[in-house]
Structure 1
Amino acid sequence: MFQKILIANRGEIALRVLRACKELGIQTVVVHSTADADAMHVRLADESVCIGPPPSRDSYLNVHQIVAACEITGADAVHPGYGFLSENAKFADILAAHNITFIGPTGDHIRIMGDKIEAKRTAKRLGIPVVPGSDGAISEEKEAKRVAAEIGYPVIIKASAGGGGRGMKVARSEADLEIALQTAKSEAGAAFGDDAVYIEKYLEKPRHIELQVFGDGAGRGVHFGERDCSLQRRHQKVWEEANSPALNAEERARIGGICAKAVADLGYSGAGTIEFLYEDGEFYFIEMNTRLQVEHPVTEAITGIDLVHEQIRVASGGGLSVRQEDIKFNGHAIECRINAEDPRTFTPSPGTITHFHTPGGLGIRVDSGVYSGYKIPPYYDSLIGKLIVHGRNRVECMMRLRRALDEFVVDGIKTTLPLFRDLVGNPDIANGDYDIHWLEKYLAKEE
């Protein structure tokens, strides 16, 4: 087991990892920008190192400073959390060159899954069902028209190196294709420095289903069930559930088995999430995230297994602590992402939190690094906390969620709490009857 872990992140995820390390008796080092000097994870860590000014490129993305912090403090491993350097293959390689363990997969696996085209090829080779589409990048309109005609309209054009909805355009006819292709390539080049795009069949009313997987790096793999992340705004997840209201036990076992076998065959090490669109009983691979997800707590709630403990165990060479038959699913869990944003316009709302009170009671968990008097900086992601609720079934979970949202108080800034109070009372949400387009349509009606 590691002696000292450096946590290369901030906010609630840094605090989440820090707590796991303390439970395992591992010394902690956190890095922080000058803007985060008063952050809760900085206050609670055994050691802290300031690595630069507020802009991420000068601090949380500054590989040289993070490696120097490891060497100064004697950290023998780095947990990257999510975001920032968590899916940076070069960072993983550099740490390995300095004999520092990256708590995550190898740089090669990060590279494979970070390229959407190569990831799709790999998924297909591993037996994972994929969306019909181009075999590689599309560069010319003639080629795009040929592929679109083969798979049928509507189609979606996606950036190979992309994410977060950037470089994605839908074409519903051949007449739409030229401008969609040009726009997607332009956006991809501007956002990612790579204008490569590919084409897939566009599904009209899919759900977003993702499988939590783990590999031990030596040919063993398991899955921890699925999460339903269909409630999204601009391709950004807002509300996540485990298990999905749309799947039954047979479907869960089928797609879970496929994914567990895939990570085993790949020789994958650590946590990963294989994401799908799901429509009419069929799964279609989107991508694989080679890190811990924001929404991992709902999986922990229904399995009773600490996924960060598992990450650390695997990275230290201890292997997986569970076999597939040991993983049982208990009840239902929902996570709401509480952001420092206007609940209608979603404009960021940085500022000082004058009062912060979290709900409690059976089945309630809040992951947050903020507190009364804390000043939300304007430089980073607007996520300030996650409300996770667990119940014996979805009905009980929704009852507890409604009560917990009423108890949650954040004064001094605007947050998305009012949005969730609206959603929890909506009949479609209560019935689990929604797809990836539902929230956008709901918000458009509210304007």
Structure 2
Amino acid sequence: MPTRQEVSYFGAGPAPLPTPVVEAGARAFVNYNDSGLGLGEISHRSPAANKILDEAKANLTTLLDIPDNYEILFMQAGGSGEFSAVVHNLVAVWVERRRRRAEADISKTNAEKAQVDELVFQRLQKEVEEELKLDYLVTGSWSLKASQEAARLVGAKYVNVALDVKKANGGKFGTIPAEETWSLTPTKKEGGKGSAFVYFCDNETVDGVEFQSFPKSLEAQGQDAEDERLVVADMSSNFLSRKVDVRKYAVIFGGAQKNIGVTGITIAIVRKDLLPPQTATPPAALLHRLNIGGLPGPVVLDYATIAKNNSLYNTLPIFNLWIAGQVMADLVTAFGTQRVSGQEEIADHKAKLIYDVMDKYPQVYHVVPDKSVRSRMNVCFRVHGGDEVKEKEFLAGAEKRLLQGLKGHRSVGGMRASNYNAVPLENAQKLVKYLEDFATGQ
């Protein structure tokens, strides 16, 4: 039986955790802080649980330098749940902003209150029908699923796929075309009405594609809300792996089970002006009458409700939160003033080692995505052009060296080495040694 130290695991999620966190978690699950109760047993509303939550927020704020005008939410339902939550919440924000504007305009007339309400509704109904758009940049399997969920909830006519990589890349993911080819909904400044939000997946786990930087076309254009693109980013698989300017985003979310912790916790970072009282949730009766599919959404996915209740509206899995909090605390301790930039240096170094050896042997290894968009987190490649026998031989040889979790996603096949934060440099070096030995027949 191999020990934990002997195994090098490159699974895409659930992913490896730092061994000290796993060991401390084992003790805390049995008896937390000598309380006689395990972390899976204590009340989510207890002082101990509240302390865990507060410390996790503080450490995440430190790591990402999160401004005061953002709220950190700990939720459930994973990244896939956020596909729905984003639509529920930000379409409601779009409706409420339009409702307020319509009410302000129509109230200036001499119409009576009942007439104002009806005229506001009629204007909103027309604007929903003619102007509501949700922009999606589809660069891989997860952003595709997100766009499909949006279409399922509100209807395909409201979803604008501003970028469909498959159409530009011969039916396959693996690149990100130039921004001037994207068909984003024009803002007011650009002669249009703007979209409810623009959505992209920062790192595509299945396809090995990562945005190398924040898209210039999504940069803020001015102070007017009508000229703003509310940017939503799924960072589930590269969260806390590099420095991020949180101010550029309306919402950032990530499932925990790759770089942060164990399955069961989702983190959402939401700009406060998208929450009450600055932008109230439109009345449920109004949303029902407007008949926008999927709205209002489930209360457990409602950002306003979760924020108001300090992430404790329903039972938060405190053990899972504690694991994530310990990972964050250890990063703060390890990198100090460097914050997440310290982890970024390590992630970049490990990725370079792996890609360099593959590029050294192009007759053996083919990296699937274009070099310009290679993911630092998920290295997707084929062996001998995808030869079935050779790839089985590669996996068998890897298993003998206790290099595990290298099989690609079932939807695309091939190989995938997930290079998450908890993969030690020495394990990446073991993989590089095997890649070299396999290529040279050793």
Structure 1 or 2, whichever has the larger Rg, is: 2
Q: Which has the higher strand share?
A: 1
Q: TM-score, normalised by structure 2?
A: 0.29
Greater relative contact order (Cα < 8 A, sep 6+): 2
TM-score (norm 1): 0.29
